[in-house]
Structure formats: C-alpha cells, structure tokens
A and B are shown apart, each in its own frame.
Chain A
Amino acid sequence: MIKTVEGARVLAEAAVACRLDVVACYPITPTTHLTEELNQFYADGRIPEYLTVEAEFSAISALIGASAAGARTFTTTGGQGLLYMHEPLFSAAGMRLPIVMLVGNRAVSSPLNIWNDEQDTISQRDTGWIQIYCRNNQEAVDSIPQAFYVAEKILLPVMVCVDGHYLTHAVEQVDVPDEKLVQGFLPPYKYPLKLDPQNPVSLGVYANPTHYQTFREDVVADMEAAKEILVEAGKKWGKLTGREYGLINAYKVKDADRVLLSVGSVMDNVVMVVDELREKGEKVGALHLRVLRPFPREEIAKALEGKKVGVIDRDLSIGAQAPIYLEIAEALNGKGAQVSSFYGGLGGRGVKRVHIRELFEKLRKGPVKQWITTEPPKAAMKG
C-alpha cells in the first residue's frame, strides 16, 4: 500500500517482508534509521536474531557464518562502514554466500564527510558482489526482494545501493509490498552445503595454485550468468506489482541524439530535465545504469550506438579516468558513439537540474572530460 515514509525506515519493512533470519548491524550515517528500524522489528519478534556488532568488519563476518549455516541474512552500512568491510566482502563472494546488503551511498574520508556521492560502492565494484543502484525509494524497496531472489539462485552476495540523504532521508510516497506478495515472489532459502553435523563439510578452504584460479573463473562465469536471473527477477516482480525492472532503464533514448547516463538518484533529476527539453523539441534521453555488476555491456552498446553520450560519475578513480565512464567508453568502442565524462557532485554537492541542463548543452560539441558542480574552489580551500 502507498505510504508517505522515510526511505531508510521503509527499507526495513521491505527487508523484513523477505523473512530474515539473522541481521548484524553497526550504526553509521546515512543508514542508521534502517539499522534502528530493523532493531525495532527484532524487539517485536519479527526478526529472530539481531547482532549489535562492534564494527562493520564484524557485521559481514557474522553474516558469513550465519549464511553458511543456512540463515537468510541482511545488513546495512555506507561510506566508511563499507570500506571497513572491504576484506570480508571478497571472502563472502568467494565463499558463494548470498548475503544481501543495503548500502547508503556516502562520501569517503579524508576529509570526513557524511553527505552523498558514490565513491564508496564504486570502490567496491571488484569484490564479486552484484551491485544494483536505485533511482528512488520505490526502486530501492522493490530491489531488496529481487536481490534475495538473484543472490540465492546464483549464490553471489548482492549490494543494493541507495543514495544517502537524498534517498535514505527522503520522505515520499512509496508503494510498500506486503509480506504475502513478497513470499509469493521469493522461494525459501536453502544453502546447498549448509554447516550441518549431519553433513560436516569444510567451507572457506585454502586453494593452491592448481585450483585457486578455477574457483575465480567460476565466480566470473556466474557473475555473467546473473544477468539473466536479474532480468528474470525484474520481470517476475513486474507481473506482481506492475513495476518491471531490467539491467538498465532507457528513458526516451531510442530517438535521442544526446543521452546522459549514470547510477542512482541523479537519474531522476535527468529524467525531469529530459521531459523539459523534449517539450522544446530537443532529442535527449536518460539511461539509468541500474545494474553495475555484472556490467551490461551488450545492452549499453545496443541502446547507445551512434549517440552522443555523457557519463556522470559521482565517484573517482584517482590517477585514472572516471570509473563508470571508462566501462561505458569500452562498451561503445567501435559503435560510432561519442562518449563524454562528467565527474563531480561529491560529498553532498549533488548534481542538480541546473547542472544537468549545462551538461546536455556541452554534449552538443563534445567529447569532453571535465569536473561538474565546481564552486569557486580555490577561495574556499584557503582555510
């Protein structure tokens, strides 16, 4: 039913509707309200186990154990917290454990900043976790059950990425799926090699050079195979709720000559500007990269062939080109497309509609690579 509710709090409802067994959380802005709401569900008996761990490193570590023991597991973090999970993130993926985590995107230290950009999850794109980005709280609520569906079918953990502040703290109308609907969508969780005295297998083994790469090749192959399952989940969810999801969301792209592409809530602002400019007859479009891992190369190539494309990176790869731009440029190599890179909106500056209008203008000429949302920096930096 449609509620007017804060993003972080309603995400707890969506998670609990998936019938969680074990939750382990450490509080951090911007996802503290979700951590707190989950604890209220635990206090009222709706979640069997809730560990108040002493650090994010231990949140994932606890869920590695719980998931391997057959429990459906969930946690949430953001910014520094996600970075402090870096080592166990690799371990969870390598051990093929279908943990689902809601990440509230937040800038990374130093300097310390609690506001929004996507440096945290982008920096974890190589860990083997599937990454789903959400444009708004409706997509976030819809993506959690789908995340469990995919994770538990392909046995790879999933990060659902939601912009801190702009989404986690936004109170807006969200159609909240109830437990009955979610239980119809999501089969119960059965981990094939559960830690069980009746079947005492060893998990998380040590592999020598002969075997190690074989496991990594298998993870790479299954990450690719996950694309199909993500689309399957999105279609199945569409039948139940009327809201279908895919790997990408192309809005008025087909006949567009200029397209802006990014992940997360900035794409909602782009859609509003596309509508504005379309009324003036400009052929512009918006492409939301909903799934970053596995990276939908073929879908990107098909959708953007021959177009002028601007990639908005609210993240950095210091010493290299912007991360999402690099992957989009590679996917469009030889496709007659002209790809520009716009990076900025960091630490809460955001990319607003006024900036987006400028970016569409810049695409007329292109290709360009430049900062966006640059205030008069040098003066401010004197300090």
Chain B
Amino acid sequence: MDNNRAAQSGDERIGMWDGMSKQSEMHLFAPGHSGCPGCGPSNVLIQVCDTLGKDIVVVQATGCMEITSTQYPQTAWRVPYIHSLFQNAPAVASGVSRALKAQGNDHTKVVVIAGDGSTYDIGFGALSGMLERGDDVLYVCYDNQLYANTGVQKSGATPYGAATTTTTVGSVHRGKETERKPIAEIVAAHGIAYVASASVAYSADLQNKVRKANAVKGPSFLVVDSPCCLGQGFDGGITMKVAKLNVMSRLWFLYEIENGKFKLNFNPANPKPLQEVLGLQKRFRHLSPGQIEHIQKQADASYNALLEKAGLLESQKSFSSPEKPLNTPK
C-alpha cells in the first residue's frame, strides 16, 4: 500500500511545504484542517491529491471539506485552489480548464473535489453541462451520503431507509423512502471516457483509478465511498471498517466504466450479512425487518445488474461477444 508521496523531488519548497514537523509537511493536503476525528472524506483528499501531484488546480464546491480546509486566514491546500459556490464547481472548472488551454498550458489538470450534496443535487445541472461540453476536468465526488456540513440532512446519495434530519423517523414515515441516485451510470451515460466507483478504504484501487482518470483527455468522474462518522452515527475510529464492510456486503461496489464498458474490480461473490454493517450505524437503528429485506433485495439486484453489465453472469460466459469497436472517436 504505497501512499505515493507527491512526486516533487528536487523542486524548491518556497512556502509550499512549511510545516511544523516532517510529518506535517508530507502531503499536498496539510494537517490542521478541522474535519471530525476519523473523517472519511478528509482521508480521501489526502490520497487523491498525493496521487495527482502538484501540477493541478483544485476547484471545490461548498461542503464539509471546503469549510474545514479553508477558514481564512488558513488553508490546508498546498495546490492552487478555488471555491465559489455550492452549485457551480463544474462550471467554474470548465472555465479554469479553458483559460489554461487559452494560455497554452496543456499539462495542468483541473480537478473538481465535491461532496455528494453538490454532485447529486444542487450542482447536478452544472455537472451534466460540463460532461456534455467534454471539458478536460477530473471530477472526484467524496460521497458521505448526506449533507454533513449543515448537520446531516438527506441528499440524493442517501441510501433507502437511512434516517437523516430531513428523512426523520415518525409514526407515518420512517427514514428515506427512495433509492440512491446511480450517479456513476448517469454520468457514464453522457458517453465520457472514464467513470469509476471507489472506496476510501481500498487505497490501492482508489489511487489506481485516480491515475487512470487523470490520464483521460476530457471529462472523467470518480465517486468515492467515504463514510461520515458524525452523520451516519458511529465512532470515528471505525470509519474504514464501515467502508470495507459496505463493499463486502454489496452496499457499495468497486468498478469502472471505460467508454461505456463495465469492469468489476472486486466481486463480492459471498457477501457479509447486512446486519453487520447496518448494526454499526445509528442511521439504520430504526429499520423494520421489511426495510432490511428491501435493502437486501436491492443490494443483490444491483450486484446482479453489475455482473450482467460486466459480462460476468454465468449465462453470458458461454458466448461473450467480441469487443465492439468504439463508435465515438475519443
């Protein structure tokens, strides 16, 4: 598990790195940010930035990671960074990438780093516009399945059944009554070259996908499961355990969609019982047997759909069709 410290051998370190200790100078996302103890998204930022290196511009949407990292006069970012509003990061990123291009810079990568609220909901229109324009932007969504910064409200990424402060548990309604948005498939449907679903707890897979997405000329998209202890209701110390269990219990999948072609990176053939991961989280404490059964059915259905799209279903194995030539030149 090589955390691939940012490649910056030999360059001068004017102000970019001034830390109080060797450890505090190591990463492109510095310590001292005010994320909660055990914050999943904070770790995603460190892994993503270190993998991408210094030659990037980060465009951020309002959200937990923006508020905790840029409280004037301090910032945790050691790379060029811009934040404007909650719903316009993809548009801002398009602007930055076109400006760099206009000035003859074709190497600096523009990277949007946004939460699920801005990605699935308020900024979704701007995201779709950016994808259709084919702007050269790498979009990373740290997905903690809720609006954390404003105190745990529901987002389009909140799973079925989960209690949040806007899918409250009462005598008539009990938690979220709709499924998550399949954001990766929706983004892939725009016909872009690379989309991937990763997890904070599978570092090698995550960093590999960051590298592949970075290599794409044009839009690429990563959604990264990054559990939020405060919002999902568990102690910060087990954030990575919850993330691993999400994958092992078919609640989160590791896969890639390259030019529309699905590739499963991890096949949870015999999944862990749902109760193990659901039981760790306060947001699921109220679930009725019926709701748990619904989640189980949904998890298995998603799994089988993914197997089918990746051509791994038993029935497909006998006559898997040859690789179809790409229709859209990329």
Contacts and interface: CB of A to CB of B under 8 A. Distances in A.
Interface of A: 25-29, 32, 35-36, 39-40, 42-45, 52, 54-55, 80, 84, 109-112, 383
B170 A28 contact: no
Nearest to A380: B73
22 contacts: A27-B151, A28-B150, A32-B151, A35-B165, A39-B167, A43-B168, A43-B170, A43-B174, A44-B171, A44-B172, A52-B154, A52-B167, A54-B121, A54-B122, A55-B122, A80-B62, A80-B85, A80-B86, A84-B87, A111-B72, A112-B83, A383-B73
User: Chain B: interface secondary structure?
Assistant: loop
A39 B158 CA distance: 16
A116 B294 CA distance: 44
Given A52-B154, A54-B122, A36 B166 contact: yes
Nearest to B172: A45
B170 A36 contact: no
Contacts of A111: 72
B283 to A, nearest CB: 14
B216 interface: no
Nearest to A35: B166
A77 B154 CA distance: 16
B263 to A, nearest CB: 30
Given A54-B121, A54-B122, A80-B86, A43 B173 contact: yes
Given A32-B151, A84-B87, A39 B168 contact: yes
A312 to B, nearest CB: 26
Interface string B157-178: 0000000011111111110000
Nearest to B176: A52
A250 B151 CA distance: 39
Contact of B87 (A32, A55, A110, A383): A55
A39 to B, nearest CB: 5
B41 interface: no
Given A32-B165, A43-B169, A112-B83, 19 more contacts: A25-B166, A27-B165, A27-B166, A32-B151, A35-B153, A36-B166, A36-B168, A39-B165, A39-B167, A39-B168, A40-B168, A45-B171, A45-B172, A54-B120, A54-B121, A54-B156, A55-B121, A80-B85, A383-B72
Contacts of A80: 62, 85-86
A109 B83 CA distance: 11
Interface in B24-45: none
Nearest to A38: B166
Nearest to A383: B73
B77 interface: no
B124 A54 contact: yes
A106 to B, nearest CB: 12
Nearest to A43: B170
Contacts of B83: 112
Given A39-B166, A383-B73, A32 B150 contact: yes
Contacts of A42: 168, 170, 173
B166 A112 contact: no
Q: Which of A28, A39, A42 has the most CB of B within 10 A?
A: A39
A45 B156 contact: no
